[in-house]
Structure 1
Amino acid sequence: MTKSTETSHVSTDELITLLDAAERLPGAGELRARSYGLLGAEPGTSVVDVGCGAGRAVAELAERGAEPVGVDPDERMITVARSRWPRADLRVAGAYELPLADASMTGYRADKVFHELAEPPRALAEARRVLAPGGRIVLIGQDWDTFVIDSADPALTRAIVHARADLTAGPRAARRYRNLLLDAGFEEVTVEVHTGVCTGPAMLPLLAGLAESACSADAVTREGADGWIAEQRGRAEADRLFLALPMFVAAATAPR
């Protein structure tokens, strides 16, 4: 799930509801903690969380003693984040123009953001600008072509997944993390894959959103989308839903 998932199809408040559900899924907290460890977040470090959404990661980084700054281009999202974490440093800004001084941060984190960026190299150039020499960067995200969904109609499922991917600015950004970081001049690049599995109803809104998007793009018929959504709802009610989502975690170091 991403802070900007389905932004053209749902309101910010609906998106926050989806994000909150995703953050409660098994393994989500561990994945966030892994990203903080890769950043080396500890007392005295300064971290910018790009696309911070409702601010949970900013709050958790502060609990570790780091000095985080959360930025998000959605003003409503920042308003909600400020209401939840009133002492946090939260700012309205996008990935291309961060409101931070040169070499002022020891860490840069972007969780499920880069697939929404038309110019990932531009965002990484900005990351290089704000990171101090030896600073750490961590990118987290899903590859939009690799939603693994059990269904009675695999061909229809494939059509839905790929149609939704085609509506995203950079659906395959996560598989490009390593090369993007290398091309931007980062060093010590590593990549991990953590697969989240959902077998309950929590992700039904996400699945319905995939089908609705595919229908809006004329990739599947209205009847096909409705039938697929009904099947997934029935699977959830019968404890037979299966969604697996590989999450890619890339980490690197700014040149010293």
Structure 2
Amino acid sequence: MTKEMGEKAGQVQEPTDDLIALLDAADRLPGVVELRERSYALLGAGPGMSVVDVGCGAGRAVMELAERGVKAVGVDPDTRMIAVARGRWPGADFRVAGAHDLPLADASVDGYRADKVFHELAEPERALAQARRVLRPGGRIVLVGQDWDTFVIDSDDPVLTRTIVHARADLIASPRAARRYRNLLLDAGFDEVTVEVRTGVFTGTAMLPLLVGLAEAACSSGAVTRHDADGWIAGQRTRAGADRLFLALPVFVAAATVPS
């Protein structure tokens, strides 16, 4: 699940209580929990390590890192999300800031983590320059995110589905940032770059809000008509009710090291 239903790190929208509840539910999905665990492993997270979690949202990853003995700092440009995080985890370090202007000293952290953030950045290169600045030599970076052109959705109208997916992608600052992770990290001077892909398969009703959001955005942009969007949404709701919904969502996990 992505925080695009609230614009995590680009144009910030005020999150509603319903959105926060939806994000909380997404955070508890088994595949999402597994991805977070993998990101911590790639960071080498452990006692005494310091990590900045960029686009931290309501702060779950910050607290999970703290449980591993990590000194974690969560940053997010959304003041409401930071307020929620501070309310839930009053002992943690949360700061209002974006990926392009981290409130950290040079070479001050051992790890940098950004989960579903880079697709919202028009200039991901600037964010990686900040990552290089705040990471110590030998420090680790982990990026997690989906490629917005690669939503795989079963439907009765594959042409319309392709139009909806691509139209939604075109509304995002960097919809294909995830497929660029390796080259972005290499261009920024990182070493030991690796990329993995984990594909989530969803067949129930939990992802209906995401599918509805895709169609509504495509309709709002003028890429599809209201009639087509409504018909497509109705078809997906029917599929979900009959246990025939199918969504596959590849998520890319990149990791790298700052040269010593």
Name the counterpart of 1:107: 111
Matched residue type, 2:3 = K
Q: Does 1:209 align with 2:213?
A: yes
1:142-186 alpha-carbon deviations (Å, 9 max, x no partner) = 000000111111111100000000000000000000000000000
Say which of 244, 248, 251 aligns to 2:255: 251
Inter-partner Cα distance in structure 1 for 2:14 and 2:110: 33
TM-score by length of 2: 0.95
Matched, 1:237 2:259: no
Shift in CA distance, 34/115, structure 1 to aligned 2, threshold 3 Å: same
Following superposition, the deviation at residue 9 of structure 1 comes to 10
C-alpha deviation, 1:16, in angstroms: 2.1
Contact 2:107/2:133 (CA < 8 Å) preserved in 1? yes
User: How many Å apart are 1:229 and its aligned residue?
Assistant: 0.8
SS where residue 250 of structure 1 aligns? strand
**Which residue identity lines up with residue 28 of structure 1 in the other structure?**
V
In the other structure, the counterpart of 2:175 is 171
The SS at the match of 2:253 is: strand
CA displacement, residues 94-138 of structure 1 (integer Å, 9 cap, x when unaligned): 001111111010000000000000111110000000000000000
Q: How far apart in 2 are the matches of 1:44 and 1:65?
A: 6
Give TM-score, length-normalised by structure 1.
0.97
Shift of 1:6: 4.8
The answer to whether structure 1 residue 26 and structure 2 residue 49 are counterparts is no
Counterpart in the other structure of 1:83: 87
1:18 Cα offset (Å): 3.0
* Aligned residues of 2:14 and 2:78 also touching (Cα < 8 A): no
Q: In structure 1, what residue type is equivalent to 2:15?
A: T
Three-state SS of the structure 1 residue aligned to 2:194 is strand
Match of residue 63 from structure 2: 59
**Partners of 2:147 and 2:107 in 1: how far apart?**
30
Structure 2: segments with no counterpart, 5+ residues: none
The residue that corresponds to 1:3 in the other structure is 3
Task: Select between 84-93 and 157-166 the one with higher mean Cα deviation.
Answer: 84-93
Name the count of aligned residue pairs.
256
Q: Determine the structure 2 residue equivalent to 1:200.
A: 204
Counterpart in 1 of 2:72? 68
Note if 1:160 corresponds to 2:164: yes
Whether the 8 Å contact between 2:6 and 2:15 is mirrored in structure 1 is no
- Write out per-residue CA displacement over residues 24-81 of structure 1, whole angstroms, 9 at most, x where no aligned residue: 2231111100000000100000000000011111110011110100000000011111
Assess if the C-alpha contact under 8 Å between 1:4 and 1:113 holds in 2.
no
The runs of 5 or more residues in structure 1 that have no matched partner are none
- The aligned residue for residue 15 of structure 2 is 12
| Residues 1:139 and 1:9: Cα distance change in structure 2 (over 3 Å) | closer
Q: Kindly tell me: are residues 37 and 172 of structure 1, through their superposed partners in 2, closer, same or farther at Cα, counting changes over 3 Å?
A: same
d(CA) in 1 for partners of 2:205 and 2:89? Answer: 28
Query: Secondary structure in 1 aligned to 2:186?
Result: helix
